[in-house]
Amino acid sequence: MFEATTILAYKGAKGSVIGGDGQVTFGNTVLKGNATKIRKIGKEGNVLAGFAGSTADAFNLFDMFEKCLDGAKGDLLRAVIEFSKQWRKDKYLRKLEAMMLVLDRKNIFLLSGTGDVVEPDDGKIAAIGSGGNYALSAARALDKFASLDEEALVKQSLKIAGEICIYTNENIKTYVIWDEKR
């Protein structure tokens, strides 16, 4: 595990949400508290992506993934497979300590710098970064025992992670793709 940020993705009954904290650290120093580490991508903005790892590499990886998504004509599964192949083959990128979460209304995937493509067991909640396990645990509990909408669940889970993980703050940003029938 590396010291990074916290990104949480949740695919609920009425919408898909990705959220992340805003803290950028260098060693034991906070460099920035309000960074945006998540994006809406694709021609329709119907895919959500988040990144944990080196901030400098995030833009290249987002752009690389978006090209794969465009090449796959918006098919997220095809795009993640192509992206993982490219990431694994690139001599520089495969050495990154980085991960991405991507989701749409049908799929949710965790992508690692070693070329792994992982779909969560429950098919709906995934988290990465230093506070990922805290956010994942909170999201699973809230999903099971609370009656929050998708965005509120992600925000509350990240807030809990921010209270525990020193590499995660409570400056939370989210993007949502809601179903038309909400």
Alpha-carbon torsion (122, 128, 133, 137), positive or negative: negative
- Would you say 55 and 142 are in contact if contact means Cβ atoms under 8 Å apart? no
- Catalytic one of 5, 25, 55, 168: 5
Q: Tell me how far the alpha carbon of residue 124 is from its chain's centroid.
A: 12
The amino acid sitting at 12 is G
The residue count of the chain comes to 182
Q: Tell me how far the alpha carbon of residue 59 is from its chain's centroid.
A: 14
> 25 an active-site residue?
no
Cα–Cα distance list, 151 to 62, 70, 168 (Å): 22, 27, 18
Which run of H or E residues covers position 52?
A: strand 47-52
Token readout for 137 is 């645990």
Neighbour-count burial for 11-31, b at 16+ CB within 10 Å, e otherwise: bbeebbbbbbbbbbbeeeeee
The span from the CA of 111 to the CA of 102, in Å, is 8
Catalytic residues: 5
